[in-house]
């Protein structure tokens, strides 16, 4: 365990957490006027904002200092941010040093820009003066007595032409005096319009928990299946609605109208794992058709909820975990009497009991806590989990031997047909 002192990484760790939570706060601010805004992290800069084009409209550097102080003209916080922007802009403008359309370059810092310094006149407002800032930055960059720690960064700035330096400085905006880490919760609650109530902290905790899961996906670099390209303000608003309505008990809208599936619709599922699993427990075609109706319409309803931002993918994953736990209890209870020498007919009978017990258990499970959900949503979602059994980390099935069978479903089908 790290000890407090010269080797403590507390400040660095706080800086990483600050970057993560600042990205959430900034996304919340944009949600009021731009639900389509997208955020990503650690691609070209600490934080980036896009709008469906794939090209960032804003590059943001975050700097957290626990102790109040001034943003120095010669310090690393500014000059390293500037060097990071130059490197990022070269990638965006390749083969030219700067892109034709410059993104906004923001430095968000908890420190204060002193009046008369170039960071001060690069703040937003009537006092903003790009020419004055550029002239002073040139002086600081050329100062032979400047700090060695920023020498390479200052030289990188001076390597640009006069016109390029002007375009670069013109795109910079200093946002000083930003809230420190301990004050971000109150700022976030304000931006998300979370009212003071006994549930305020619980709502914030759930939003931040969701956001940290999203952040892991944004920062994933090894597994493409787990990586997220970006998160939108609309997703944040949808997740907020899901969480706040847990305390209000609002129901999700049902837009699907159930009817019998046609023979063609049923046949379209014949080769899928959802049907294979039901055949392993010897269900009749009539029963399979009934279960497929739940599966078919529950899948369509979930897609509609996602499309219209009534739920998020995270919200549905929470719901599926709840259903999985119900199945796990039923499966463990019903299969405890299975022995190695039990004949196949007995195994199929137990599989049918697992299916029936699971369908009863999940029918009353709400898709959103505190709400009411039609029974076919839970039953159909359970079949969706069974359909993904061959690829899932925690597979769902009905037959006592479903787990091993899912690894070689074609072999099992061949044996049944012989």
User: Per-residue confidence at 7, pLDDT binned at 50, 70, 90?
Assistant: low
What is the DSSP annotation of 139-173?
A: HHHH-TTS-GGGHHHHHHHHTS-HHHHHHHHHTEE
Residues 6+ apart with CB under 8 A from 199: 244, 247
User: Per-residue confidence at 122, pLDDT binned at 50, 70, 90?
Assistant: very high
The phi, psi pair for 177, rounded to 5°, reads: 65, 25
pLDDT of residue 6: 52
The first and second tokens of residue 72, run together, are: 């120095």
Mean pLDDT over residues 304-330, rounded? 93
Contact present, 209 and 282 (Cβ < 8 Å): no
CA pair distance 53, 33, nearest whole angstrom: 18
pLDDT of residue 1: 40
pLDDT of residue 410: 61
pLDDT of residue 280: 97
Of 308 and 21, which is predicted with more confidence? 21
Per domain, the residue ranges of the chain are 10-242, 263-417
pTM of the model: 0.71
Question: Bridge-partner residues for 112, per DSSP?
Answer: 70
The mean of the pLDDT values for the chain is 91
The secondary structure of residue 104, as a DSSP letter, is E
Mean pLDDT over residues 380-393, rounded? 94
* From 7-16, 56-65, 169-178, 363-372, the region with the lowest mean pLDDT: 7-16
Q: What are 239-263's pLDDT values in tens digits?
A: 998 888 877 767 888 889 899 999 9
Residue 371's Cβ-side half-sphere holds a number of Cα atoms within 13 Å equal to: 21
CA pair distance 140, 325, nearest whole angstrom: 63
How wide is the angle at C-alpha 48 spanned by C-alphas 46 and 50, nearest 5°? 170
Contact present, 43 and 207 (Cβ < 8 Å): no
Residues 6+ apart with CB under 8 A from 323: 362, 365, 378, 381, 382, 385
Of 410 and 62, which is predicted with more confidence? 62
Cis peptide before 95 (omega within 30 of 0): yes
Residue 41, exposed/middle/buried by CB under 10 A (0-12, 13-18, 19+)? buried
Checking if the pLDDT of 400 tops 90, the result is yes
What is the maximum alpha-carbon separation in the chain? 88
The secondary structure of residue 146, as a DSSP letter, is S
Residue 39's Cβ-side half-sphere holds a number of Cα atoms within 13 Å equal to: 30
Q: What is the CA radius of gyration of the chain?
A: 28
Of 233 and 95, which is predicted with more confidence? 233
Contact present, 58 and 101 (Cβ < 8 Å): no
Q: What are 28-63's pLDDT values in tens digits?
A: 999 999 999 999 999 999 999 998 777 899 999 999
Of 134 and 249, which is predicted with more confidence? 134
**Cα 398 from chain centroid?**
32
Residue 243, exposed/middle/buried by CB under 10 A (0-12, 13-18, 19+)? buried
User: Per-residue confidence at 412, pLDDT binned at 50, 70, 90?
Assistant: low
Contact present, 19 and 46 (Cβ < 8 Å): yes
pLDDT of residue 2: 45
Mean pLDDT over residues 112-126, rounded? 96
E runs forming strands in 64-209: 104-109, 172-175
Checking if the pLDDT of 406 tops 60, the result is yes
pLDDT of residue 94: 75
For the chain, percent of residues with pLDDT exceeding 70: 95
The secondary structure of residue 298, as a DSSP letter, is H
Alpha-helical segments (H) within 268-284: 273-280
User: Per-residue confidence at 8, pLDDT binned at 50, 70, 90?
Assistant: low
Of 288 and 244, which is predicted with more confidence? 288
Mean pLDDT over residues 172-186, rounded? 94
Question: Bridge-partner residues for 107, per DSSP?
Answer: 61, 174
pLDDT of residue 417: 47
Residue 108: count other Cβ atoms within 10 Å of its Cβ. Answer: 24
pLDDT of residue 357: 97
CA pair distance 115, 363, nearest whole angstrom: 65
Residue 168's Cβ-side half-sphere holds a number of Cα atoms within 13 Å equal to: 28
CA pair distance 91, 305, nearest whole angstrom: 38
E runs forming strands in 206-258: 231-232
pLDDT of residue 54: 78
pLDDT of residue 265: 95
Contact present, 123 and 175 (Cβ < 8 Å): yes
């Amino acid at each position: 365990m790290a000890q407090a002192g010269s080797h403590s990484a507390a400040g660095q760790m706080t800086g990483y957490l600050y970057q993560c939570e600042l990205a959430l706060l900034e996304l919340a601010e944009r949600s009021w006027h731009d639900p389509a805004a997208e955020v990503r992290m650690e691609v070209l800069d600490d934080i980036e904002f896009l709008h469906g084009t794939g090209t960032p409209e804003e590059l943001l550097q975050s700097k957290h200092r626990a102790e109040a102080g001034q943003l120095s003209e010669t310090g690393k916080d500014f000059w390293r941010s500037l060097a990071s922007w130059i490197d990022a802009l070269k990638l965006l403008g390749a083969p030219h040093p700067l892109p034709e359309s410059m993104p906004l370059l923001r430095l968000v810092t908890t420190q204060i820009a002193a009046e008369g310094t170039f960071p001060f006149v690069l703040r937003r407002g009537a006092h903003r003066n790009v020419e004055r800032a550029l002239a002073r930055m040139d002086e600081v960059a050329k100062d032979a007595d400047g700090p060695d720690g920023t020498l390479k960064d200052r030289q990188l700035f001076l390597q640009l032409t006069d016109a390029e330096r002007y375009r670069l400085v013109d795109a910079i905006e200093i946002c000083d005096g930003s809230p420190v880490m301990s004050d971000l919760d109150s700022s976030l609650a304000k931006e998300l319009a979370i009212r003071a109530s006994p549930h305020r902290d619980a709502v914030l905790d759930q939003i931040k928990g969701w956001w940290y899961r999203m952040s892991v996906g944004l920062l994933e670099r090894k597994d493409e299946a787990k990586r997220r390209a970006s998160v939108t303000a609309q997703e944040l608003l949808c997740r907020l609605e899901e969480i706040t309505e847990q305390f209000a008990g609002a129901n999700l809208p049902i837009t699907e109208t159930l009817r019998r599936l046609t023979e063609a619709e049923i046949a379209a599922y014949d080769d899928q794992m959802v049907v294979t699993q039901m055949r392993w427990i010897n269900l009749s075609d009539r029963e399979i058709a009934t279960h497929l109706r739940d599966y078919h319409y529950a899948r369509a309803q979930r897609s509609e909820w996602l499309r219209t931002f009534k739920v998020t993918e995270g919200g549905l994953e929470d719901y599926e975990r709840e259903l999985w736990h119900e199945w796990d209890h039923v499966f463990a209870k019903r299969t405890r009497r299975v022995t190695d020498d039990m004949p196949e007919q007995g195994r199929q009978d137990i599989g049918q009991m697992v299916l029936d017990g699971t369908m009863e258990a999940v029918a009353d499970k709400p898709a959103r806590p505190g709400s009411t959900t039609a029974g076919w949503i839970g039953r159909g979602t359970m079949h969706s989990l069974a359909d993904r059994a061959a690829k899932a980390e925690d597979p769902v099935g009905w037959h006592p031997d479903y787990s091993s069978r899912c690894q070689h479903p074609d072999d099992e089908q061949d044996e049944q047909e012989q």
